[in-house]
Amino acid sequence: MEKKDPGKKPKPKPGRMKDGADPVKNFEKWKKKYNRTKAQVKRDRDQDRDRGRGRGKRPQWQVEREDIQRLVSRYQDINIQDVVKFSDFPISKKTLLGLQDAQYRQPTEIQKQTIGLALQGRDVLGAAKTGSGKTLAFLIPVLERLYREQWSSLDGLGALIISPTRELAYQTYEVLRKVGRNHEFSAGLVIGGKELRAETERIHRTNIIICTPGRLLQHMDQTAAFSASELRLLVLDEADRILDMGFAETLNAIVENLPASRQTLLFSATQTKSVKDLARLSLKDPEYVWVHEKARFSTPATLEQSYVVVELPQKVNMLYSFIRTHLRSKVMVFFACCKEVQYLFRAFCRLRPGTPVLALHGKQNQMKRVEVYNDFLRKQSAVLFATDVAARGLDFPAVHWVLQFDCPEDADTYIHRVGRTARYRDGGEALLLLLPSEEEAMVRQLQDKKVPISQIQVNPEKLQSVQQKLEAFLAQEAEQKQRAQRCFVSYLRSVHLMRDKAVFDVFRLPVGDYARSLGLAVAPRVRFLQRAEAQRAGGEGEGPGGGAGDEGEGERGGASSEGEESEEEQQLRSFKAQLTERLPGGSSSEDGEDSEDDLRDLDLLTVKRRDVFNLTGAPQGLAEAAAPPRKKAERETKYSEAKKVLRRHFQVNTKVTFSEEGRALQLWPPVPRSAAPEDGQGDEDRDGAGIDVDKARERLRREDQEFDKQEYRSKVKAKHRERKLKERAARRRRQEDQGDGDQEDEVLAYLANHSDDEFDPSTLPDPDRPREDEEEEEEQEEDEPPPPPKKKKQLVSGEPAALDTGLSLAEDEELVLQLLSGSR
Ligand SMILES: Nc1ncnc2c1ncn2[C@@H]1O[C@H](COP(=O)(O)OP(=O)(O)OP(=O)(O)O)[C@@H](O)[C@H]1O
């Protein structure tokens, strides 16, 4: 029997559940189930791991294929209303992981609306505001398409992404590398600026190529291993730009080499719907996705936009003042042409505004472009001077301001430029400088494009003038001056080439003042402007009844000439656009560097004559612009001089003296004796039927006499000279014979003569007047023959000894005359 322990509490009996079940048994049951599930999970996990290592029953490719099938089966059920996260799309784990690592979790509107369509294999035209995430909208479908087809390096080129600029291609490539890092495809950047060979070796193994059109075409033409026959997907980023005429021919040539069965995606903030353009791409039932079509504005809501009207000569001052007041901001400044960027960048570096100034344009070499791009990317505050190579697609973080120094070509270009700020969810500001002549038409265009922009005023007193400083720089550096001249010409040319003449009228620009604002003393002559001016004047001059020519005096030319001009302009613009993209900076001197050669229109050495006192009464700028073309100053060569002389019938190399009676006597060239007319004698001879023999004989006699006289005179002169020389030589010999003592006397005498006297500056020769003794010496040197070596030799050589008459020269002459007349 069990004894009860009084100090011990009785052990409670296990209670019963309400339903009468035993809780212990229940627990055991649960435990058993738990262990079973745990073992199952472990088994499944092991199995999964084995599959992952390829040790399982099913190979990796099969597992992947099953995954793909599962994904593809979901494509048709995509409902964008349900999509909140990227993982709501049927996209691969590899892509999702890449997106997650790059901190992309929720798709933007354009991504939501296009990714599904693209996954379904549709051709898509996607348009959405700048900075809205279009890049991922096409990169995700690219990765998924190739993954879906289990593309490998052996399959070659699967997707082609074409960008209008190298920088944009480079940026897209970087995003692709980030997002696609878990995929095994190869991707390559084909943008030029480096050796073609380096790309050639790898291009046939590249699955995704990101390129600029020019370079791609070059490979299509020159690289034998390059083949696009298996291409699955073509993407045109900034499609409207690539489709526009600047790239038209290149793009047509590229598309010809692509298989028609490919899928095509076009993206831009300003999309084209031109049927003609799209027909070139042979899209198949394309889907238009215009995300912000119904939006009130076409630019980001977080962007504040304004414009100021400023006179052309004030623009540089305006820019400087702006930079000085935004030293802590990151600013992008857009210019119309490379030469402007080149000059003003250097000028502003010299002005030291207090913030780093960088420059990006198409005439830089590729390395420089990348360096500047990365530099600006990293900087917290800096100013980037750029051309429109930076207008599209570039995604620099935290740009506070976009300043458009020159009016954009059109509203679309405006939208892309301002889109470099206020990206994704950031805010930003944009300022546009407009000339009074540009304001009305441009503002209207912007309003038509739903751009909310308002005018602001600038306090002219706050403007800081830099003109004098620029003048000083140019005075110091000839190279910089040339840059300023190129900048001037290039800007005018860019204005002249603009299509929209309602906005851009080069003839309304105050060119003289503009040149001075750049630091130039005078405006360089711009030949194309003069030609255009002449053409315009010609057009206006057409008589009445000339159709379009009658429409208004201020209008440009007639219909036909306008047609011709626009064609020329189109060609130039197309050429320019291709250069921007195609040429590597260095070789282009963009510059191209200078394929587009502004020097053609710039007379560096010839500048306009300034009407300093405004004698013409015309306003300075206009007077300069309208100055008649002057011929380029040619170098005066001897040849051209001679031609001029011949043309004017000058008699050269003649020397004529006049006697006291005013009779002309030709001294050089010697007139043939028999031909020398005398006092109308020749005329008589010529007029008479024949020659008067007596008169001729008489004349001959006189001529002979004259000739002999001259001969004798020169002989006598020579004789006198010889005698003098002989005397001098004799003197010298005597001195030598007298010995050293005499020599010393001479030296001493010399020293005595000069040492005791005080120096008298008046004794110095007048440097401005030829010295008499010099003249004498020169004369002597001319007259004197080289010193006769030895008298004996002269005799041996048989030269006649000079006749010594012992008379003076005049007496000698008289004597000879008498002798001569007597001998005849
Ligand atoms: N889903 C996302 N989540 C977070 N950030 C995103 C997402 N998609 C894009 N972004 C960011 O938004 C910015 C703009 O993207 P993107 O450059 O693709 O714009 P875009 O529409 O192509 O602009 P643009 O018209 O100027 O070319 C980038 O910095 C990008 O990293």
* 269 CB near ligand 1 (under 6 Å): yes
pLDDT at 57: 67
The candidate with the shortest Cα–Cα distance to 450, out of 572, 297, 334, is 297
Out of 108, 265, 420, mutate this one to test ligand 1's pocket (max ligand atoms within 8 Å of CB): namely 108
Supply angle C-alpha 220, 226, 228, rounded to 5. 80
The predicted model scores a pTM of: 0.63
Cβ atoms of residues 22 and 14 within 8 Å: yes
Classify strands 303-309 and 602-607 as parallel, antiparallel or unpaired. Answer: unpaired
Atom 31, ligand 1: which residue's CA is nearest?
133
Residue 772 Cα to ligand 1 midpoint, Å, equals 91
Helix then strand then coil, % of the chain, to nearest 5: 50, 10, 40
Half-sphere exposure of 720 (CA within 13 A, CB side): 12
Atom 6, ligand 1: which residue's CA is nearest?
133
The pLDDT tens digits for 240-276 are: 989 886 788 889 999 999 999 999 999 999 976 666 6
pLDDT at 591: 37
* 132 CB near ligand 1 (under 6 Å): yes
pLDDT at 85: 96
* 108 CB near ligand 1 (under 6 Å): yes
| Other beta carbons less than 10 A from residue 175's beta carbon | 16
pLDDT at 60: 78
Mean pLDDT computed over 161-182: 95
Residues 6+ apart with CB under 8 A from 444: none
Residue 104 Cα to ligand 1 midpoint, Å, equals 10
Q: How many Å apart are CA 62 and CA 469, to the nearest integer? A: 73
Cβ atoms of residues 160 and 228 within 8 Å: yes
| Lowest-confidence pick of 407-421, 447-461, 605-619 | 605-619
Q: Report the range out of 3-12, 113-122, 554-563, 682-691 with the highest average pLDDT.
A: 113-122
At the top level of CATH, the class of 63-290 is alpha beta
Q: How many Å apart are CA 100 and CA 94, to the nearest integer? A: 10
* 193 CB near ligand 1 (under 6 Å): no
pLDDT band at 14; cut points 50, 70, 90: low
Atom 4, ligand 1: which residue's CA is nearest?
104
The pLDDT tens digits for 664-710 are: 666 666 655 444 444 444 444 444 445 567 777 787 888 888 888 88
User: If you ran DSSP here, which 8-state letter would residue 81 be given?
Assistant: G
Cβ atoms of residues 126 and 286 within 8 Å: no
Q: How many Å apart are CA 724 and CA 56, to the nearest integer? A: 128
Atom 5, ligand 1: which residue's CA is nearest?
104
Residue 535 buriedness (CB in 10 A; 0-12 / 13-18 / 19+)? middle
pLDDT at 762: 32
Q: In the chain, which segments carry CATH 3.40.50.300?
A: 63-290, 303-485
pLDDT at 782: 33
* DSSP bridge pairs for 218: none
Atom 10, ligand 1: which residue's CA is nearest?
133
Atom 25, ligand 1: which residue's CA is nearest?
130
Residues 6+ apart with CB under 8 A from 578: 214, 246, 247, 250
Out of 104, 142, 298, 426, mutate this one to test ligand 1's pocket (max ligand atoms within 8 Å of CB): namely 104
Mean pLDDT computed over 150-166: 93
* 104 CB near ligand 1 (under 6 Å): yes
Q: Report the range out of 44-53, 484-493, 578-587 with the highest average pLDDT.
A: 484-493
Out of 132, 236, 392, mutate this one to test ligand 1's pocket (max ligand atoms within 8 Å of CB): namely 132
* 423 CB near ligand 1 (under 6 Å): yes
* DSSP bridge pairs for 683: none
pLDDT band at 728; cut points 50, 70, 90: confident
Average pLDDT of the residues of the chain: 76
Q: How many Å apart are CA 117 and CA 731, to the nearest integer? A: 120
User: If you ran DSSP here, which 8-state letter would residue 103 be given?
Assistant: T
pLDDT at 58: 75
Atom 14, ligand 1: which residue's CA is nearest?
131
Among 3.90.550.10, 3.40.50.300, 3.40.50.1860, 3.40.50.2300, name the CATH number for the domain at 303-485: 3.40.50.300
The candidate with the shortest Cα–Cα distance to 75, out of 110, 107, 117, is 117
pLDDT at 213: 93
| Relative orientation angle of helices 740-755 and 693-737, to the nearest 10 degrees | 100
Supply angle C-alpha 391, 109, 389, rounded to 5. 10
CA 94, 96, 97, 98 dihedral sign is: positive
The pLDDT tens digits for 531-582 are: 888 887 776 544 333 333 323 223 333 333 333 333 344 444 444 443 343 3
pLDDT at 9: 54
Q: How many Å apart are CA 596 and CA 338, to the nearest integer? A: 10
Out of 174, 395, 402, 426, mutate this one to test ligand 1's pocket (max ligand atoms within 8 Å of CB): namely 395
Q: How many Å apart are CA 432 and CA 406, to the nearest integer? A: 8
Cβ atoms of residues 301 and 271 within 8 Å: no
| Lowest-confidence pick of 158-162, 321-325, 682-686 | 682-686
Q: How many Å apart are CA 518 and CA 582, to the nearest integer? A: 30
Contacts 24+ apart (CB under 8 A), 85-92: 86/140, 89/115, 89/116, 89/119, 89/140, 90/119, 91/115, 91/119, 91/140, 91/144, 92/67, 92/68, 92/143, 92/144, 92/147
For residue 618, the one-letter residue type is: A
pLDDT band at 722; cut points 50, 70, 90: confident
Supply angle C-alpha 396, 399, 401, rounded to 5. 140
* 317 CB near ligand 1 (under 6 Å): no
Q: Which atom of ligand 1 is nearest to the CA of 420?
A: 26
pLDDT above 90: percentage of residues in the chain: 47
Q: Which atom of ligand 1 is nearest to the CA of 171?
A: 17
Mean pLDDT computed over 761-784: 33
Classify strands 208-211 and 330-334 as parallel, antiparallel or unpaired. Answer: unpaired
User: If you ran DSSP here, which 8-state letter would residue 155 be given?
Assistant: G
Mean pLDDT computed over 322-344: 97
Half-sphere exposure of 643 (CA within 13 A, CB side): 5
Q: Give the containing element (helix H, strand E) for 820.
A: helix 809-823
pLDDT band at 407; cut points 50, 70, 90: very high
Cβ atoms of residues 98 and 182 within 8 Å: yes
Phi, psi of 791 (to 5 degrees): -55, -40
pLDDT at 311: 95
For residue 496, the one-letter residue type is: H
Q: Write out the two tokens for 611.
A: 């009407």
Residue 770 buriedness (CB in 10 A; 0-12 / 13-18 / 19+)? exposed
pLDDT at 409: 94
pLDDT at 570: 43
Q: Which atom of ligand 1 is nearest to the CA of 135?
A: 18
pLDDT above 70: percentage of residues in the chain: 66
Q: Give the containing element (helix H, strand E) for 468.
A: helix 467-476
Atom 15, ligand 1: which residue's CA is nearest?
133
The candidate with the shortest Cα–Cα distance to 147, out of 49, 225, 55, 233, is 233
* 126 CB near ligand 1 (under 6 Å): no
Residues 6+ apart with CB under 8 A from 750: none
Q: Which atom of ligand 1 is nearest to the CA of 397?
A: 29
Q: How many Å apart are CA 133 and CA 139, to the nearest integer? A: 11
Residue 424 Cα to ligand 1 midpoint, Å, equals 6
Atom 3, ligand 1: which residue's CA is nearest?
104
For residue 481, the one-letter residue type is: K
For residue 761, the one-letter residue type is: P
Residue 397 Cα to ligand 1 midpoint, Å, equals 11
Residue 423 Cα to ligand 1 midpoint, Å, equals 7
CA 404, 408, 410, 414 dihedral sign is: negative
| Lowest-confidence pick of 18-22, 481-485, 595-599, 747-751 | 747-751
* 133 CB near ligand 1 (under 6 Å): yes
Mean pLDDT computed over 715-735: 78
* DSSP-derived 3-state class of residue 196: helix
For residue 817, the one-letter residue type is: L
pLDDT at 617: 38
Q: How many Å apart are CA 187 and CA 169, to the nearest integer? A: 12
* 582 CB near ligand 1 (under 6 Å): no
Q: How many Å apart are CA 379 and CA 376, to the nearest integer? A: 5
* DSSP-derived 3-state class of residue 792: helix
Cβ atoms of residues 603 and 632 within 8 Å: yes
pLDDT at 516: 96
Q: Which atom of ligand 1 is nearest to the CA of 111?
A: 1
* 131 CB near ligand 1 (under 6 Å): yes
| Other beta carbons less than 10 A from residue 822's beta carbon | 7
Confidence check: pLDDT of 814 > 90: no
Confidence check: pLDDT of 48 > 80: no
Q: Which atom of ligand 1 is nearest to the CA of 419?
A: 26
User: If you ran DSSP here, which 8-state letter would residue 653 be given?
Assistant: S
| CA end-to-end distance (rounded Å), the chain | 198
| Lowest-confidence pick of 131-145, 495-509, 638-652 | 638-652
Residues 6+ apart with CB under 8 A from 325: none
What is the rounded radius of gyration, in angstroms, for the C-alpha atoms of the chain? Answer: 48
| Other beta carbons less than 10 A from residue 452's beta carbon | 15
For residue 615, the one-letter residue type is: L
Q: Which atom of ligand 1 is nearest to the CA of 168?
A: 27
User: If you ran DSSP here, which 8-state letter would residue 159 be given?
Assistant: E
pLDDT at 402: 98
pLDDT at 577: 44
Phi, psi of 708 (to 5 degrees): -60, -35
